[in-house]
Structure 1
Amino acid sequence: MTTLDTTAKKFGPVWLAPGISKGNMWTLLYAAFFSIGLLTFMGIGTPYVLNVVLKIPQDQQGVVSGNLVLWTEITSILMFGPVGVLVDRFGRKALFSAGFMLMGLGYALYPHAATIGELTILRIIYALGIATTTGALATVITDYPQEATRGKAVAIVGLMNGLGVAILNIVLGGIPKRFSAAGFNDATAGEYTHFIVAGLCFIAAVVVAIGLKGGTPVKADDRPAPMEIARSALRAALNPRIALSYSAAFIARGDLVILGTFLTLWATQAGVASGMDFPEASKAGTRIFVLAQSAALLWIGAVVFLLDRANRVTALAVCMGLAAAGYLGMGFVDDPLATIDLPLIALLGIGQISAFLGSQALIGQEAPILERGAVIGGFNTSGAIGILFCSSMGGYLYDAVSPNAPFILIGALNGVVFIFALIVRLKSPGRMPGDGTAPAGFH
């Protein structure tokens, strides 16, 4: 069995790695709450800017939204590798803080774009921030817990991610309506809301700079050279379970972004089509997105139970199966605001959080400590490539086929990874949680 160091700090049910304080862990949870929550506000902000500021026709918004996500992911692909190297060479705090600052800058300027070209440039600035922030977050999540309680730690962080998404989007999504009710026009209401989001990003940058543990988990003399770290992300895929993790990341890491982009856009457009003014339609779209995230939060306990008791590959197979069901189920939705379709929206959220937590738990178990940042960088890069594909195809399918089409595409990809997970489970199952010895099979 993996040795549990009981001389280290314990944070609730999680045994922390030696040298990690409770204050460090509280800071991680703060960062988890705000990073993903603030990241996903872009799904609310973009329809607002497209409709109110740039006045893009609705039959073109799917392609425009997809292209904006595409540029976000091109930037992410270019950045995830370097971020993985930088967090291993220079530590987590500076990268995490810089990521929040860049996100804040992107949000502050976003509603001032006068053209699609300017909006794209600002989206790239935002993308630099999210690539840096999510890369640092994934690495810190892997650093802080001991292996025996990693599943619990991943679940707690996932819970904070979900709470951040639900609470921040409920609160921030309703602010434009409040500004409009106070007499501000729609454009000014959106501008002020983006300023508030930017301010939260800047505050988070200060908090992580103060509260996270400095340095890296290995001594400077023990660190591989930067190119060796970068190459290690590719070499690591020779481990079939890391290859599976990368494959799961291809779709799972993008599920939330795609959900936020196309579900919010679809629901907002449905609200406008039903006669709502735009602030009210935006609020309705936000409520549907929050419903999916609320279902995800309620489901986290079941995922925790699975991750802590089942083989991680088995757990990932179950998670990807749920994700496939959730996204394919959107093919039966006619109106995302209709009460009859709300259970399918909830299943979508359950599938999304399952895939996210399952993939994170497996890569956390398999990533070697000296190359952890690089392997996590490879994991994030794989996710970015997946979003690049899904966003470009999804935007086209949204406008040319139907709003359901991007979800069906993602559901099919989740199904492919589900089958891959079953194959890996048979051929190279790996070890049980907390067990230092892999069970029978190829290793």
Structure 2
Amino acid sequence: MSVHRPLFTATRTQTLTYLLAVCPFSIAFLVFINSSISFVVTELIGVHQGEGDAVGTLGFADELLALVACPLWGVLSDRIGVRHTCVAGYGIIGVALFVFVQAKNVYPQLLLGRLLFSIGGAAVSTMVTAVLPAVTGRNREQEFHASEPANPQNDAPWLDENERAEPQPSTYAPSSRLAGFVGACAGCGALISLVVFLPLPARFQEWGLSPSQSIQSSYYLVGVVAFLISICCLIGLRNLPGEEKKSWSSLWSSGESTEGGLSGPSCAVGGRSRFPYLNQLGVAVALGFRNRDIFIGYLGGFVARASSVGISLFIPLFVNHYYRMSGLCHDNHRDGSSPGEIKQSCPKAYVLASILTGVSQLVALMVAPAFGYLSERSRQYHLPLLFACLCGTVGYTAFGLMPSPKFNGPDGTPGVFVVMALLGISQIGAIVCSLAVLSNGILSMDATGRIPMQVGEFETSSNVDADHAQPTTETSREPDEQQSLLGKTSTPSTQQLSHLKGSIAGVYSLYGGAGILILTKLGGLLFDVLSSGTPFYIMAGFNGTLLLAGVIGGLVSRWRKSISLE
């Protein structure tokens, strides 16, 4: 007997708040401050020598702090809930935008403002990942009752384990499908910044304000928007499934049983212990080595974030380098060595770089929903993600080997647009599919309710209170992807990890930040030392590594399944 299951367990208000507030504006504010910070340095503070170094240092400090802040926000959200984390994150962004334009010098005032923004930005970017399973997941009790009538195999102990544990596509809501819309909404966030936020200083100048006053007014207005988004999250994300009992008081409350929170049977066996913060983070990291979906999700986040830098930073730098080396920049005498100076140093290069990156992002927005849908149809082998990695491997290699980035003229070729399309497909595929794979990995743990752990690995009670035991459904597990990687049979000492979504999201962001730092520092160094195509070869290597990991994981999963069926 089939049971009708809704697409999302969250309400329409909660889902729309996530898609229209959390997802787009987590990108919009970041794009705004990255694109306008140079004007703050030059027009507001008055630094006209070494502004490129100042902007680069601020961005690097931002990313370093985010590496630490993202996992911490993820762990914190497991205590206080994703709703309160979103509210705090956007509130901090609003304060940071107000404080930012009060600075009178780059160091330490502007640096402190940027670090404050980094703390808020880390919170909201991590919650884009953490809220997804909360919106699409189903709690274990609902899963048990929904799947029991349709799965009489549960009452047939004589069946083979793999027959009883055969994955059912409808056992949990399709987070993969929603992940496609998440990618599209995130892309729309960048458009909001480009179309609405960034033109604000010019608009204020038309109204008679000075350049410095225009910049300040723009930051104030965008800061007000951040506060409004914070209020929207406060109202719209109330009572998310599995988040009802989480609050700020959980930070200092004792480890008493609280169903739905981090204490009690949902997190500690017998309701006796709760994960310390570092243990929560350690479990999230360890899951990347024990669960194939979580590992592929982490690695996909690494490639996805690196891809965004590869397209937004190194393509303009590559174009600018080509124009300067070819002697095509005759508009002024500035060398334009900094990517932020391309527009002033070589307008033709700036126009071409804008066209190429624009084509890439346009293709990404167009195919994002398709990747979400296809990810839902291929949960076991992650074929859409592998296809995106293949596009990235081919596209980045081809772009690095191209003699010219131009699409016309004697040295140009229209084929550069095909390469840009491949890069856009690779970027959005890594973003959407890594989110989908990670979320499905989390939800598969929620569906089973338990993850086998070694006795004594964490502080647990050996006696499980039967009254607090959560129902599990064998049909909702995928043995080839979960059981074989998470250890052997369950022991009496068992930890339930259904409330570690935030910690896992934090580690996902940590991997992404590491991808950005490695590509920017190593790619930038080799760009000068070896060739201008080196960063793209590095990105091709990242995509190739993820492709290889996905193929090997799928083959191993299929082999183990065939062995178990014999």
- Which TM-score band applies after superposition, normalised by the shorter structure? 0.7 to 0.9
Name which of structure 1's ranges 142-151 and 215-224 shifts more when overlaid on structure 2.
215-224
Distance 1:273 1:401, change over 3 A: farther
2:270 is equivalent to residue 226 of structure 1: no
CA distance in structure 2 between the aligned counterparts of 1:87 and 1:347, rounded to whole angstroms: 36
Q: CA deviation at 1:187?
A: 3.8
Which residue of 55, 59, 65 corresponds with 1:75? 65
Q: Which runs of 5+ in 2 are unaligned?
A: 138-171, 244-258, 269-273, 321-338, 447-497
Alignment of 1:38-437 (within 5 A): 38-50=29-41, 52-53=43-44, 55=47, 61=52, 65-113=55-103, 114-115=105-106, 117-146=108-137, 147-214=172-239, 216-217=242-243, 219-220=260-261, 221=264, 222-224=266-268, 225-227=274-276, 228-237=279-288, 238-256=290-308, 259-261=311-313, 269-274=341-346, 290-310=358-378, 311-331=380-400, 332=402, 344-367=419-442, 368-369=445-446, 370=498, 371-396=500-525, 406-428=535-557
Distance 1:189 1:294, change over 3 A: farther
Distance 1:418 1:126, change over 3 A: same
**Secondary structure class of the residue paired with 1:234:** helix
Q: Which residue is equivalent to 1:34?
A: 25
AA in 2 matched with 1:320: C
**Secondary structure class of the residue paired with 2:174:** helix
**Secondary structure class of the residue paired with 1:381:** helix
AA in 2 matched with 1:139: A
Distance 1:351 1:343, change over 3 A: same
Name which of structure 1's ranges 393-402 and 310-319 shifts more when overlaid on structure 2.
393-402
CA distance in structure 1 between the aligned counterparts of 2:307 and 2:183, rounded to whole angstroms: 14
CA distance in structure 2 between the aligned counterparts of 1:404 and 1:111, rounded to whole angstroms: 37
CA distance in structure 1 between the aligned counterparts of 2:41 and 2:353, rounded to whole angstroms: 15
Q: Is the 8 A contact 2:381 2:550 kept in 1?
A: no
AA in 1 matched with 2:124: T
Q: CA deviation at 1:107?
A: 2.8
Q: Is the 8 A contact 2:298 2:508 kept in 1?
A: yes
Q: CA deviation at 1:419?
A: 2.0
Q: CA deviation at 1:401?
A: 6.8
**Aligned sequence identity (%):** 22
CA distance in structure 1 between the aligned counterparts of 2:198 and 2:303, rounded to whole angstroms: 26
Give CA deviations for 1:379-429 in whole Å, capped at 9, x if unaligned: 222212222322333454567777765444333322222222222222236
Give CA deviations for 1:45-88 in whole Å, capped at 9, x if unaligned: 23434554554558x73x65554333223222212222222212
AA in 2 matched with 1:418: L
CA distance in structure 2 between the aligned counterparts of 1:385 and 1:89, rounded to whole angstroms: 25
Q: Is the 8 A contact 2:91 2:226 kept in 1?
A: yes
Name which of structure 1's ranges 394-403 and 204-213 shifts more when overlaid on structure 2.
394-403
Q: CA deviation at 1:128?
A: 0.5
**Secondary structure class of the residue paired with 1:428:** helix
Q: Is the 8 A contact 2:197 2:218 kept in 1?
A: yes
Q: CA deviation at 1:363?
A: 0.7
Q: Is the 8 A contact 1:333 1:404 kept in 2?
A: no
AA in 1 matched with 2:63: E
AA in 2 matched with 1:133: V
Q: Which runs of 5+ in 1 are unaligned?
A: 431-437
Q: Which residue is equivalent to 1:16?
A: 8
Q: CA deviation at 1:139?
A: 1.0
Distance 1:287 1:141, change over 3 A: farther
* TM-score where L is the length of structure 1: 0.81
**Cα-Cα RMSD:** 3.6
Q: Is the 8 A contact 2:97 2:219 kept in 1?
A: yes
Higher helix share: 1
Q: CA deviation at 1:346?
A: 4.4
Q: Is the 8 A contact 1:66 1:396 kept in 2?
A: no
